[in-house]
Structure 1
Amino acid sequence: MFAYLRTLVRRRVVVNLASGRAFRAILWARRGRLLVLRDVVMHEPGAGPVAVDGETVIEVDRVEFIQVLTGTDEG
């Protein structure tokens, strides 16, 4: 399960959580059941985007879906 994550490493993505929170970031690494994100902007329902310093680690079980951004979506 989640074997497709291997193809997303080092790509710009939007990681959407079941809670409604989303992270626009570079999926830097997958460490077992964890995703490591860099260059993160967090989006919460009802709030503006917030830049996050450092790396963000998310459990794969919390992920609802992942959107892969293309060259025109990255800006």
Structure 2
Amino acid sequence: MWGWFPWRRTAVRRRVVVNLEDKAFAGILWAKRGPLLVLKDAVLMQHGAADTPMDGEVLVERSKVDFIQVLAGG
């Protein structure tokens, strides 16, 4: 599933929403390091709860990602 995809190159350094099973992170997709995605300026988004700003970098295991949205103008 995570072979070579052209979108990965175009999505890096853009504002994205990384959707997981029970939550999502919005932020700048800064890098892909092995099995991890690195997000900066990230916010945790959970259904029914207020968005929570995250300090530092957020690391997300790619195997846990359902899908990624690249935001327009991001």
Normalised to the residue count of structure 2, the TM-score between the two structures is 0.87
Task: Specify the SS of the correspondent of 1:7.
Answer: helix
How many residue pairs were aligned? 71
Q: Which runs of 4+ in 1 moved over 2 A?
A: 1-7
Q: Which runs of 5+ in 1 are unaligned?
A: none
Structure 2 unmatched runs, 5+: none
Deviation of 1:45 (Å): 1.5
Structure 1 position 56 matched with structure 2 position 53: no
Q: Does 2:27 align with 1:17?
A: no
C-alpha distance in 1, partners of 2:33/2:10?
14
How far residue 25 of structure 1 moved from its aligned partner, in angstroms, is 0.3
CA RMSD of aligned residues (A): 1.2
Higher strand share: 1
Task: Give the whole-Å Cα distance in 2 for the aligned partners of 1:32 and 1:58.
Answer: 11
